[in-house]
Homo-oligomer: A and B are copies of this chain.
Amino acid sequence: MINIAVLGYGTIGSGVVEVIETNHESINHKIGEPVHVKYVLDKRDLSDTPVASKAVTDYDIILNDDEVSIVVEVLGGVEPAYTFATQALEHGKSVATSNKELVAEKGAELLALAKSKNLNFLFEASVGGGIPIIRPLNQSLTADEINEITGILNGTTNYILTKMADEGTDFDEVLKDAQNKGYAELHPEADVEGYDACRKIAILTSLAFGMQVDYEDVHTEGITKITETDMKYAKALNMSIKLLGTSKKIGDNVYAMVCPMMIGKNHPLIGVNDVFNGIFVNGNVIGDVMFYGAGAGKLPTASAVVADVIDAAKHKERNIMQIWSEKKLHLADIGEFEHKFFVRLPKDSDRSKVKEVFGDVEEVSAEGVTDEFAFVTLKMKEKDYQEKIKAFDSVLGMIRINVK
């Protein structure tokens, strides 16, 4: 019997209990012994829930119960999750978590602690919800050196951008619709400003390159400035606008950023729409691979957490995660990062000056947009773009184009 404790009975916590119950037969078969939820910790009163008999509010009961070998942490946020996870490992219990804030900030430390105790700290659900990406990076793409990871890592913003593109409506209107449908929070900053995607690309970058990436170092822009007009231009260019978290290794430099970007019809992420997530990886021998699925949601996320529980149960006293070093990875200045730039200027802008400043550009016209002048630059460094664009007083908009 594998006894586990679930910390937090919110959406994901109740999903974990549900998945273990629904698929208990196949799960127990895979582990080789039955898995049993012995405790559910929550501050709230759970007496009216199906887990009333398992409910505790005092974490010490879990820590001091030697029968509990795995702790599932699905509280979210750094504290008390960090203290709870540390204590669990110190008490000889492996930890499975869906908590991106915790992993982004304390992942290296908790991985090292788990390794030192011959336990496991697993976090498949912290990036991409149900999509297997942490384990493939850790165990499948091991023959490769990673050149690039680029992902659509946030379902809310992908839903908003998909709706804006399909229906020709503006950001504010679609956000309201998403909030009504429960796809976006009342306070949507974490999603629409890119903070959520930022933590996820920090985790993926740390794992891919083996050193700690501080999410605060990742240049992050959200989607609030994307307009109906941008969508018309994207359509004219046969591209889609996506909020991407991207990191690339070029020579010894690692660049990472989160921002809305245009991608073309041949990019593997082009078909990732609505609330779905997709993660594209390029390795030096495997080439391009892509992983697609539900990036959030109760059951998909719980599926990933329970897969971690199964892995932890099958690897008692055996550490299986490739750890990343606590040593800080100094991200390179994104000024050196190269893209093409899609730029919108007022109609009366001096076109000969555009040519003079940017050289050959591709002019773009979009259906129903008559009072602007828009163009796409050649591939160039961010800092060169930022320097050159100063020559123009009024810039209506700029979106980077991801060039593979």
B144, B283, B290, B310: the one within 8 Å of A143 (CB): B310
Q: Closest approach, in angstroms, between the C-beta of A375 and any C-beta of chain B?
A: 28
Q: Say if the beta carbon of A140 comes within 8 Å of chain B.
A: yes
Q: Are A124 and B143 also in contact (CB < 8 A) when A22-B284, A286-B303, A290-B292 are? A: no
| A140 and B307 form a contact (CB under 8 A) | yes
Are B303 and A144 touching (Cβ within 8 A)? yes
| Range for the number of chain A residues in contact with chain B | 35 or more
Report whether B311 and A142 are in contact in the complex, using a CB–CB cutoff of 8 Å. Answer: yes
Q: Are A300 and B287 in contact (CB under 8 A)?
A: yes
Residues of B within 8 A of A310 (CB): 142-143
A287 CA / B304 CA spacing, docked (Å): 11
| Shortest distance from the beta carbon of A74 to any chain B beta carbon, whole Å | 14
A19 at the interface (CB under 8 A from B): yes
The reply to whether B132 and A136 form a contact with Cβ atoms under 8 Å apart is: yes
* A46 interface residue per 8 A CB criterion: no
What B residues does A289 contact at CB under 8 A?
A: 130-132, 291-294
Measured CA separation A318–B322 after assembly (Å): 18
Nearest CB of B to A295, in Å: 11
Assuming the contacts A142-B30, A292-B290, asked whether A285 and B303 have C-beta atoms less than 8 A apart, the reply is yes
A23 within 8 A of B: yes
CB pair B300–A285 under 8 Å, yes or no, is yes
Return the chain B residue nearest A305 by Cβ: B143
Flag A269-313 by CB within 8 Å of B: 1 or 0 each: 011000010000001111111111110010110111111011100
Give complex CA distance A287, B303 in Å: 9
* Chain B residues with CB below 8 A from A311, complex form: 139, 142
Neighbouring B residues of A141 by C-beta, 8 Å: 132, 303, 307
- Give chain B residues whose Cβ lies under 8 Å from the Cβ of A318: 318
Other A-B contacts than A276-B288, A286-B300, 19 sampled, CB-CB below 8 A, are A27-B142, A30-B142, A132-B141, A135-B136, A135-B139, A139-B139, A139-B307, A140-B307, A141-B303, A141-B307, A142-B307, A144-B303, A283-B303, A285-B300, A286-B293, A287-B297, A287-B300, A290-B293, A291-B292
A–B complex contacts, Cβ < 8 Å, 14 sampled: A19-B285, A22-B284, A23-B144, A23-B145, A26-B145, A130-B286, A136-B136, A140-B307, A141-B303, A143-B305, A283-B303, A286-B293, A286-B304, A290-B292
